[in-house]
């Protein structure tokens, strides 16, 4: 067994050869390679992808997401760890993780992980489980074909049947919801990045630093999801998300009558599902942005909406019609040596605009 490191400076050349990569699996997608190649907190010789090979055979891989605290001290998020199904339960995932730990001197954080990775890490003595973050997922329309088909026998047949159920249910549901052309009051400015004015406003409401602004603007400029035929082809072989039929973001600024910034709302949608990684503002303007959000969701025919738990009351008070909701725990684990050295504010105050939750 040998571990090969792909450096930041090598990512785009590596991605250019993905279509000819041997075997049934890809260790990287083109959109993720482009994003990591433009990463703001890493040097040209920073390892970004770890490949575990046996001869020429790919056994597993681990990609990482470098980060830094407000003083520039580096640490890393693991993101996208995978071992070939027929080679699992032999310690190969741990072998890849050890290589990451060695390169980053144990300054390692893990979030947005699969249950099997969470179980493995919490059983180890060198990792520390942090307080879990909470998500609430609201279901606004019938989407049983998306959520249940893979759990039933004869998946293609089950999916077609469930799509029929969804079509009937949503025809009734959408008619009951009705349509509204726009939310009351001034509409937001729609942007694509966090400006200096935005950063100053966020600093008044959050423990926000310049590194948060850099990180956020990088994620806005380089998402890990694409919509091209190439992305579709890669999704067939890449174990993590890289393709969507539709994907986009709105950076919404809400202002008062005098033009002063009063709220910021980040909307991210993908194939009928929406995430809200960031929603900050005055109480009055939060209510106005809630009204705008409800109309926007209705117009887009969104199936599901995921928000951090602390935002759930805003959704409930806004009067939006939901079929049901589900509480989801979001595990967060750090290496003990990282914790012992004193965790930086961006870790202690970890929220969903750091790590990789907002990239997919």
Judge if 93 and 169 occupy the same domain.
no
In a domain, 355, yes or no: no
Same domain, residue pair 34 and 124: yes
Query: Which of 108, 132, 156 is the endpoint of a domain?
Result: 132
Q: Which of 37-46, 143-152, 292-301, 337-346 ranks highest by mean pLDDT?
A: 37-46
Number of domains within the chain: 2
346 assigned to some structural domain: no
Residue 356 domain-assigned (yes or no): no
Say yes or no: 154 and 108 in one domain.
no
In a domain, residue 345? The reply is no
- Taking the C-alpha atoms of residue 22 and residue 36, their distance in angstroms, rounded to an integer, is 22
- C-alpha pair distances (Å), 156 with each of 147, 162, 206: 14, 10, 47
pLDDT at position 185 is 57
pTM for this model (two decimals): 0.88
CATH number for the domain including 314?
Answer: 3.40.630
Same domain, 241 and 222: yes
Q: Are 257 and 150 in contact (CB under 8 A)?
A: no
Domain of 106 in residue numbering reads as 2-132
Does position 89 have pLDDT exceeding 50, yes or no?
yes
pLDDT at residue 201, as a whole number:
96
* Weakest mean pLDDT among 68-72, 240-244, 337-341: 68-72
298 and 212, same structural domain? yes
Is pLDDT of 180 > 50? no
Q: Are residues 162 and 309 in the same domain?
A: yes
Q: Rounded CA gap, 359 and 249, in Å?
A: 11
For residues 204 and 305, membership in a common domain is answered with yes
Span 124-130, mean pLDDT? 88
Q: Which of 29, 27, 96, 105 is nearest to 66 (CA)?
A: 105
Same domain, 61 and 159: no
Kindly state whether residue 317 falls inside one of the protein's structural domains: yes
Residue 2: exposed, middle, or buried by beta-carbon count in 10 A (0-12, 13-18, 19+)? Answer: exposed
Which of 164-178, 230-244, 334-348 is least confident? 164-178
Whether 183 shows a pLDDT value over 60: the answer reads no
pLDDT at 181: 44
Q: Residue 135 — pLDDT band, cuts 50, 70, 90? A: confident
For position 319, what pLDDT does the model report? 66
CATH number at residue 74: 3.40.630.30
Of 73, 101, 132, the one marking the end of a domain is 132
Based on the fold, state whether residues 161 and 269 are members of the same structural domain.
yes
311 and 325 both lie in a single domain: yes
pLDDT-based confidence at residue 147 (cuts at 50, 70, 90):
low
Same domain, 124 and 142: no
Residue 338 maps to a domain = no
């Amino acid at each position: 067994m040998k571990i090969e490191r792909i450096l930041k400076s090598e990512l785009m050349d590596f991605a250019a050869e993905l279509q000819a990569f041997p075997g049934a699996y890809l260790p990287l997608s083109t959109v993720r390679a482009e994003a990591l190649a433009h990463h703001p907190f890493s040097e040209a010789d920073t390892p970004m992808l770890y490949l575990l090979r046996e001869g020429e055979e790919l056994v597993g891989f681990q990609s990482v997401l470098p980060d830094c605290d407000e003083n520039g001290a580096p640490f890393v998020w693991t993101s996208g760890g995978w071992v070939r199904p027929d080679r699992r339960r032999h310690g190969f995932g741990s072998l890849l993780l050890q290589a990451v730990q060695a390169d980053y001197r144990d300054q390692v954080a893990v979030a947005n992980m699969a249950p099997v990775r969470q179980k493995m890490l919490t059983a180890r003595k060198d990792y520390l489980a942090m307080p879990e973050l909470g998500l609430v997922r609201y279901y606004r329309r019938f989407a049983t074909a998306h959520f249940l088909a893979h759990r039933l026998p004869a998946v293609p047949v089950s999916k077609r049947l469930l799509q029929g159920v969804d079509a009937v249910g949503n025809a009734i549901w959408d008619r009951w919801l009705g349509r509204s052309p726009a939310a009351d009051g001034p509409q937001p400015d729609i942007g694509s990045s966090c400006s200096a004015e935005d950063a100053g406003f966020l600093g008044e409401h959050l423990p926000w630093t310049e590194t948060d602004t850099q990180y956020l603007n990088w994620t806005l400029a380089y998402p890990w999801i694409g919509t091209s035929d190439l992305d579709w082809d890669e999704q067939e072989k890449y174990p993590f998300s890289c393709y969507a039929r539709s994907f986009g973001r709105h950076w919404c600024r809400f202002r008062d009558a005098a033009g002063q910034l009063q709220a910021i709302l980040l909307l991210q949608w993908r194939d009928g599902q929406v995430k809200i990684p960031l929603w900050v503002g005055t109480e009055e303007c939060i209510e106005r942005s809630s009204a705008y959000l409800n109309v926007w969701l209705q117009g887009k025919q969104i199936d599901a909406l995921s928000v951090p738990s602390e935002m759930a009351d805003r959704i409930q008070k806004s009067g939006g019609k939901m079929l049901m909701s589900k509480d989801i725990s979001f595990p967060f684990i750090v290496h003990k040596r990282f914790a012992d050295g004193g965790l930086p504010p961006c870790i202690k105050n970890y929220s969903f605009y750091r790590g990789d939750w907002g990239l997919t």
